[in-house]
Structure 1
Amino acid sequence: MIYRFLADITVAVHFGYVTFVVLGAVATLIGAMRGWHWVRNRWFRGIHLAMILVVVLEAWVGVTCPLTTLEQDFRSAAGEQTYQGDFIANWMHEAMFFELDPWVFTVGYTLFGALVVANLVFVPPRWRKGK
């Protein structure tokens, strides 16, 4: 029971990670057009860049995401062979995982990472107060 709960929590954290990376890029673009100052916050932008770079590097070197591995380990310890989390955890899991060749994900992550880097150029973060 506890391992299943931990697996579901891991899926929720993983989904939160993905959501932050995707919505962070979208918010930066929209925020730049709408004049939202918070999208230029250097901490937000630095954390956002670091998070997508981790994903891109994992894809390039062929490393399975540690959150995916952790979830699988918890599910195995719970005696589950297939995904059997509760409704919300199942929905989050299905929203993140697709049956495609690994190279498709590598290209997708790389292009998305390039978008985040382009955001740094076209919507530069503030480095000092008042700028």
Structure 2
Amino acid sequence: MGYRLLADITVAVHISFVAFVVVGGFLSLRWPRVLYAHVAAVAWVCLLMVGLNVTCPLTTVENWARERGGEGGIPQGFVEAHLTGTLYPSDMEWLFRTLVGVAIAGSWFLLARLTGSRRSAA
């Protein structure tokens, strides 16, 4: 029971991380220091997407906990195991990734515009 709970908590943390990657730039509009963590999170996701054979530590923890809890680990990554087919259709992954990229770029663009207008007003 304890290992399964740990696996479920890890999934919740993972979902929170994915949400932060999507909306963290917008959060930095309110709390500017959040931008540093957001840039680091986006850089990490980019490393994972490029396929440098890097495994997310949260996926490692989830697999470890599931195996000790009597379940099989997830054979793919977190997105493929928990989001694809649930949050969006399997054949629409390209659209999901594009929308995430647009949200990130849009938030950073908006942040740059607001920062630039504050500097010019001062």
TM bucket (normalised to shorter chain) is 0.5 to 0.7
Please state how far the C-alpha of 1:78 moved relative to its aligned partner: 0.7
Change (3 A) 1:64 1:123: farther
Give me the identity figure in percent: 35
Which amino acid in 1 is paired with 2:57?
A: P
* Cα shift readout 1:75-101 (whole Å, capped 9, x = no counterpart): 011111277xxxxxxxxx73x34557x
Q: What's the C-alpha RMSD, in Å, of the aligned pairs? A: 3.6
**TM-score of the two chains, using structure 2 as the length reference:** 0.61
| Number of the residue aligned with 1:54 | 44
2:65 to 74, 78, 83: 74
Q: Does 1:112 align with 2:122?
A: no
**Residues 66, 72 of structure 2: 8 Å contact kept:** yes
Change (3 A) 1:63 1:117: farther
Please state how far the C-alpha of 1:3 moved relative to its aligned partner: 0.6
| Structure 2: runs of 5+ lacking an equivalent | 75-80
Which amino acid in 2 is paired with 1:112?
A: G
**Residues 49, 117 of structure 1: 8 Å contact kept:** no
**2:73 and 2:37 mapped to 1: Cα distance?**
33
| Structure 1: runs of 5+ lacking an equivalent | 29-37, 84-92
**Residues 40, 123 of structure 1: 8 Å contact kept:** no
**TM-score of the two chains, using structure 1 as the length reference:** 0.58
Q: Which has the higher contact order (CA 8 A, sep 6+)?
A: 1
Please state how far the C-alpha of 1:24 moved relative to its aligned partner: 2.3
**1:4 and 1:55 mapped to 2: Cα distance?**
26
Q: Number of aligned pairs?
A: 103
| Number of the residue aligned with 2:56 | 65
